[in-house]
Amino acid sequence: MKNKNFWDISKRPYTQLKLKILNSYLCDCWAKIFFSQAEQHKDWRSWQKIYYIDCFAGRGKYHCGGKENCFNGSPLIALECAKRFQSNQRYKDIKMEGIFIEEQKGVADDLEKFCEKYKGITEFEIYKQKDINIIIDEVLNKIGNHPAFFLIDPDGIKELKKETIEKIVNRNGPTDILLNYIKGGVERISGLVKKEMDNIINQNISDKNLKTISRLTDFYGLEVFKHLNKTEKERLGEWTNSILKSGNLKEVAVFNMPYLHKSDNIYYLLFASRKPVAKKIMTQIFKEAKKVDYRGQTRMDIFGDSEFDI
């Protein structure tokens, strides 16, 4: 369950920055490109609708230090984006539909409430109390080969399975992904695997630890056992190569999100696309985001001159 302060964004500038990155790419670039291209290719039916899929949608709004619901979350960013383009008569025959998936009932109920004002203005569907890993085939069948942008932003690696990502990566049709790779879960459980290796081999591991380790193999795959002694960056690269780049999305850029007060990263944002120009655009957005200073936090990268390549 979410803690009571989870939706207070006032002390989470990294979340604000993540949402800014999403808005910059989704609305200022991705939707703009596809709406413009669809206008020029009205005989290509697949471009008469584009999709935004939020795999872990959340409630749609954040608090700001006691101020209620002042900051749009990812679903409302997408709806505002759709509203902006669909209000333009130039694009009157083109639709952007949002698909919002949220597993927790209370959170999904809040999301439904915040989306209410967009009914009749934009198209969206809320999958309440649904797990993306279970309904991924249903979602992919719905969107067909239409252009689609997937935001994959789980709270932890236990919420996301390798097979789900692979199905998204290998779908037909233009596909862009912005994915939150939560490195803490990968690194923590990798440490547990190394510690418990003898017990794993001898089948003498506790049920609790086995369950924890299974979360890592569900997310990373069994290949993780080959990469236990590699560095954090190397493990990230191996995962990216085996899942994202092994499919249709060869163009990948990475952004490391630092903690506020210590020299370490909370997570990595991975962007993946088929198009080199899409990576180029997102890399520029990442570069602008690197200029943000978090209360004196200046260690913004670990990748040197090529920090956005992976």
Report whether pLDDT(302) > 50: no
CATH at 58: 3.40.50.150
Q: Please tell me the predicted confidence (pLDDT) of residue 161.
A: 96
Report whether pLDDT(166) > 80: yes
Does 198 map to a domain? Answer: no
Q: Please tell me the predicted confidence (pLDDT) of residue 9.
A: 82
Q: Provide the domain limits for residue 19.
A: 13-182+232-306
* pLDDT confidence tier of residue 41, bands split at 50, 70 and 90: low
Q: Please tell me the predicted confidence (pLDDT) of residue 262.
A: 73
Does 269 map to a domain? Answer: yes
Pairing of strands 175-181, 61-64: unpaired
Q: Please tell me the predicted confidence (pLDDT) of residue 310.
A: 59
Does 207 map to a domain? Answer: no
Q: Please tell me the predicted confidence (pLDDT) of residue 201.
A: 86
Report whether pLDDT(231) > 70: yes
Does 192 map to a domain? Answer: no
Give the distance, in angstroms, between the CA of residue 48 and the centroid of all CA atoms in the same chain. 24
Does 86 map to a domain? Answer: yes
Does 62 map to a domain? Answer: yes
Does 256 map to a domain? Answer: yes
Q: Please tell me the predicted confidence (pLDDT) of residue 37.
A: 74
Q: Please tell me the predicted confidence (pLDDT) of residue 43.
A: 52
pLDDT, tens only, 93-103: 788 999 999 99
Domain count, the chain: 1
Report whether pLDDT(268) > 50: yes
**Average pLDDT along the chain:** 87
Does 76 map to a domain? Answer: yes
